[in-house]
Amino acid sequence: MKQILGFSKLSKDEKVEWLTQNYFKDSENATYLLKQYWNDDKKLQKLHDEFTENTISNYYLPFGVAPNFNINGEIYALPMAIEESSVIAAASNAAKFWGDKGGFKANVIDTRKVGQVHFLSSQNFPALEQFFNESKSLIFNRLQPLTKNMEKRGGGVLSLELRDKTSALANYYQIHAEFETLDAMGANFINSCLEEIAATLKEEAAKYFNASEDQQPLEIIMSILSNYVPNCIATAEVSCPVEDLLPNKEDAQHFAHKFIEAVNIAKAEPYRAVTHNKGIMNGIDAVVLATGNDFRAVEAGIHAYASRNGQYSSLTSAKVENGKFTFSIEIPLALGTVGGLTNLHPLVKLALEMLGNPSAKELMKIVAVAGLAQNFAAIKSLVTTGIQEGHMKMHLMNILNQFNASPSEKQEVKAHFKNNTVSHSAVVEVLEKLRNA
Ligand code: MEV
């Protein structure tokens, strides 16, 4: 295959043509499939085309809803964009389970976001520190045009700190900055501020250290926000007397014991912790995506937080104290409810309206609850029926759809598998029997 020059300049039709002619055996079918997902509403399609570059089609994910979430006394229906069967059913079950037990209590501990200017310098730390302290007020002045609107609303640059990182890497220093970006995720604001800080530092350092043109006292390497936000934290919790967990008191005690040990295993064992936290992310990502937030940033930050004590570990905790079962989560979340996709994508706007147009802080609480609920449902299944019972019910529907089963075929096959174990081959066998009868 030859490389193509100027691909981005081609029209959408031309891109599809080039792609399908060069990469597909049946280019006609590939073209048909890609165009099948184009939206007839030209304006809507243009909007989606322009979200990114080289758009050739739309990629659908199911947009579902998990109702009945009692969060701090308000009842929410959570919008969830996710392809994995049973995630929304599990979230809904957890919402129902906790709905009449006081619901979910959620909180935001702090909302400080982070950005860093990374630079190299052969100056020693005390010299740089003196320069930095003398330049700080000028840096804040230079930031004014960028920060004044954010400051009017109560946000802005919270702190700037020079950090000596030379024990990790030769000549490496950084400006570690903290920001309050209110309802915006704040990436553009933070990055613009950091670049201004870097430019000012470079300029002022040259004067301060009397540098010649070819011997700069500091070399700016890069300026970028951090997706690790350990001071932008949401928590969520559920609790109830142990005996309320299940109808039978002994079963309830046994359940609480197994549940807590399952969480403790995820605390102690990284192999389990990864899967445990993956289940949490099923709920978190689905709401983050539906509300137009950056799930990659959230994922990266949360997993780093799960390793903050030197070993990758569970994001949730469970305990029984004085006969009370408590299950909780603590996660870093940098989310926005204004700016970015939130103003542009019609379904994102709808998702936010479904949540009562929350502030970023409220959304942090909702997302933390989604993670906790998902984890509760997963562990509940794991320590009781096993995960496959619920999964296989959904899997059954997927297999039936794959084989284009009619509504009556679906009904009969589902009835058969009420008392039989679902497997791909067993479903196909039953369906074939039905069709040959
Ligand atoms: C599957 O997507 C998620 C689970 O594996 C999570 C868990 O094991 O806790 C069920």
Residue 171, in any domain of the structure: yes
Q: Are residues 416 and 329 in the same domain?
A: no
Q: What's the pLDDT at 21?
A: 97
Residue 410, in any domain of the structure: yes
Residue 2, in any domain of the structure: no
Range of the domain at 40: 7-49
Question: Which residue is closest in CA terms to ligand 1's atom 7?
Answer: 276
Q: What's the pLDDT at 360?
A: 98
DSSP SS3 for 123: coil
Residue 54, in any domain of the structure: no
DSSP SS3 for 322: coil
Question: Which residue is closest in CA terms to ligand 1's atom 4?
Answer: 279
Using alpha carbons only, what angle is made at residue 366 by residues 66 and 77, rounded to the nearest 5 degrees? 30
Q: Are residues 186 and 251 in the same domain?
A: no
Q: Are residues 265 and 324 in the same domain?
A: yes
Instruction: Residue 177: name the closest of 205, 208, 143, 153 by CA.
Output: 143
H/E element holding 413? helix 407-416
Residue at which a domain ends, from 209, 226, 243: 226
Q: Are residues 259 and 361 in the same domain?
A: yes
Residue at which a domain ends, from 208, 226, 244: 226
Check pocket membership of 276 for ligand 1, CB cut-off 6 A.
yes
Amino acid letter, residue 21: Q
Alpha carbons 389 and 412: distance in angstroms, whole number? 19
Residue 308, in any domain of the structure: yes
Q: Are residues 310 and 376 in the same domain?
A: yes
Q: What is the mean pLDDT of the chain?
A: 96
78 and 91 Cβ atoms separated by less than 8 Å: yes
How many residues are present in the chain? Answer: 437
Q: Which residues does the annotation mark as catalytic?
A: 84, 278, 294, 391
| Residue 239 CA, ligand 1 centroid: distance in Å | 22
pLDDT digit string, tens, across residues 78-125 = 999 999 989 999 999 999 999 999 999 999 999 999 999 999 999 999
Q: Are residues 103 and 240 in the same domain?
A: yes
Residue at which a domain ends, from 226, 258, 281: 226
Residues of the chain with pLDDT under 50: none
Q: Are residues 239 and 104 in the same domain?
A: yes
CA-based radius of gyration for the chain = 27
Q: Are residues 364 and 250 in the same domain?
A: yes
Which of 382, 383, 395 has most ligand 1 atoms within 8 Å of CB, for mutation? 382
Residue 144, in any domain of the structure: yes
DSSP H helices in 167-248: 187-208
Q: Are residues 347 and 283 in the same domain?
A: yes
Q: Are residues 243 and 373 in the same domain?
A: yes
Structural domain tally of the chain?
Answer: 4
DSSP SS3 for 307: coil
| Residue 316 CA, ligand 1 centroid: distance in Å | 14
**CA 375 to ligand 1: nearest atom:** 9
Q: Are residues 23 and 103 in the same domain?
A: no
Beta bridge partners of 338: 184
Residue 218, in any domain of the structure: yes
Residue 134, in any domain of the structure: yes
Q: What's the pLDDT at 2?
A: 86
| Residue 373 CA, ligand 1 centroid: distance in Å | 12
Check pocket membership of 387 for ligand 1, CB cut-off 6 A.
yes
Q: What's the pLDDT at 276?
A: 98
Q: Are residues 104 and 124 in the same domain?
A: no
State the pTM of this model. 0.91
Read off the tokens for 312.
């990758």
